[in-house]
Amino acid sequence: MNCPAMSASASSSRSYSTFRPRPLLPQTSHDSQRSVLHYSRLPSEVFATSPLRLLGKHSLPLRAVVTSKNISSSSGVISGDEKIGVLLLNLGGPETLDDVQPFLFNLFADPDIIRLPPLFQFLQKPLAQFISVARAPKSKEGYASIGGGSPLRHITDAQAEEISKCLSEKNVPAKVYVGMRYWHPFTEEAIEQIKTDGITKLVVLPLYPQFSISTSGSSLRLLERIFREDEYLVNMQHTVIPSWYQREGYIKAMANLIQNELGKFDSPSQVVIFFSAHGVPLAYVEEAGDPYKAEMEECVDLIMEELDKRNITNAYTLAYQSRVGPVEWLKPYTEEAITELGKKGVENLLAVPISFVSEHIETLEEIDVEYKELALKSGIKNWGRVPALGTEPLFISDLADAVVESLPYVGAMAVSNLEARQSLVPLGSVEELLATYDSQRRELPAPVTMWEWGWTRSAETWNGRAAMLAVLALLVLEVTTGKGFLHQWGILPSS
């Protein structure tokens, strides 16, 4: 694959004006051209210049920063004896049906996925075990329907290979590694290989366009623990690209895909563009300060601005999918938004998986099967779906550019020019980013690759705790209802 180039001059000269969202669907009102979903805005703090190729307009003050000396161009910071590494971080996914249950356990045992109050943190693993056992049968059906496992590892490996090729074409020899949070190759495995290869400078690149505590933040917390426990890693310089939703190449690549799919409809201008993002609990945003919602909304604005420049002025909306559990998540929920659009008479819908850069269960089964079926039942006649970016050349080249542009910041972050435009979560080290965006960190569980049954120490511990919880639940039930075995046996008096 040849890496398409975007000249720095062309990038810096392009001005992206502040986009004001218009009144929206599902509560439809119209301006001259487009109706859109309304969502809250961050105050606009416009910064002047940037060494990075970013398009965004909303910024927050740089908080997680350290002082640094003058930084020169990337070519000046790579000496002959330096070994550059790039660590791609992603969620991971079960590769076979037998992997589904332990994968789900690893997912729900992460305190960034299910955050329990301090008093109940001892329930994290029992709760993860209960949820994973309960959800495994339905999840297995989903994975069986897409071929018996997640394609995420295969796609991420391909992305790593293409990024490596692009970096070579840009005269930056680097080894690219893949570290998954909840399944093989685990982040711990990638770090061991990085040490074996003698990497001296590391760029950490989460494959999530927008930063969230539950995705990039969780992986960074794991890296923080690993780094602190290893002398080699303590001395290895690194920087993190925490989010890159504002980058020109990413925005253009997304706009290209949307434009291509719109062309497949009989009446492209009548299609509602439906951005569906992975949801997070509302408390993460409102209480923990997660910038995910703000970054997601700005990302959608930027893509629609790019489409505006191409005279594509379709109505659009943003909703959130994949919620789990009884707590409130970011709204509107995708399934409710689809139903509402059907009631409003929308007949043409193009789904855009905005927070996913690879095909996996949420796109191939949840969107392509469940949401499509719901849309057709809700009165939508024509359904389309934009593919995930995968190894799209412009996207891959832009990620490689992001790595090159971050190299001057490896080991330190330049703050001499606080006027520089940054994404909502700026470049920084693992520790700096977590100190700012995830200050209440909790101990992480070790990954589980297979279930231990029988009279093992681990099984006895968790079986005992589960039994204690069951006994406690039965006691509460008996006391509150006045019925049960203890009353029948005369141990507790009947009312």
Amino acid 256: pLDDT: 98
Amino acid 487: pLDDT: 59
Same fold? 84-95+150-243+393-436, 248-385: yes
Whether 74 shows a pLDDT value over 80: the answer reads no
Amino acid 471: pLDDT: 56
- CATH code of 248-385, in short, is 3.40.50.1400
Whether 14 shows a pLDDT value over 50: the answer reads no
Q: Was domain 84-95+150-243+393-436 assigned CATH 3.40.50.920?
A: no
Q: pLDDT grade, residue 288 (50/70/90)?
A: confident
pLDDT tens for each residue of 78-122? 666 889 999 999 999 999 999 999 999 999 998 877 878 888 888
Whether 162 shows a pLDDT value over 60: the answer reads yes
Going from N- to C-terminal start, the domains of the chain cover 84-95+150-243+393-436, 248-385
Return the structure tokens found at 439: 């200050």
> What is the pTM (predicted TM-score) of this model?
0.77
Of 162, 144, 141, the residue nearest 95 (C-alpha): 144
Long-range contacts, stretch 94-99, CB < 8 angstroms, 24+ apart: 94/143, 94/149, 94/150, 94/183, 95/149, 95/150, 95/153, 95/183, 95/184, 96/148, 96/149, 97/140, 97/143, 97/144, 97/148, 97/149, 99/149, 99/183
